[in-house]
Amino acid sequence: MEQKIPVISDNDIKRVVKRDFPLLDFVEVECILQLYDAKVKENRNRVCAAILKLANGNIELLKDYTKAATLDYRDVLYWAEYPNYDHQASKEKRAQQNSENWLLYQSWLNKVE
C-alpha cells in the first residue's frame, strides 16, 4: 500500500501563508512557524504545511499546532495528511482512504485564493 509523501517547497509555504492569512499577519505567521523550525529541522516544510492546513487561517490554532509539532511532529503530519484513515479497515479500504486523503491534501495545497 503506497502512501504518497508531499514535497513542499519554501515557495509553497509562502504562497499558502499569503493565501490563508491576512497580509498584515504574514510576519507573525512566519515567526510562529519559526518556533517549530528553531526546535526541530526534520521535515520542516512538510510539517509547516501541515500546521498551516490544520490552522486554516486562524492564528491561535497556528500557535497550538506549532506547539504540538514541537512535541511530536508526526502528530500534525497525521492529522493534516491522513484525516480519513482507519487503521482497522481492510487493506483495500485503507488503500482507498490513502488515495482520498492524497486528493484532499493536494486540493488544499493547490487551492487558489
Domain borders along the chain are 10-110
Q: Alpha-carbon dihedral of residues 78, 79, 83, 87, nearest 10 degrees?
A: 50
CA pair distance 25, 56, nearest whole angstrom? 13
1: pLDDT strictly greater than 60: no
Max Cα separation, the chain? 47
Q: Is 40 exposed, middle or buried (0-12, 13-18, 19+ CB in 10 A)?
A: middle
Query: Is 87 or 64 the better-scoring residue by pLDDT?
Result: 64
Most confident of 41-45, 51-55, 97-101: 51-55
pTM summary value? 0.90
pLDDT value for 109: 97
pLDDT value for 43: 82
Question: 59, 33 in Cβ contact below 8 A?
Answer: no
pLDDT band of residue 26 (cuts 50, 70, 90) is very high
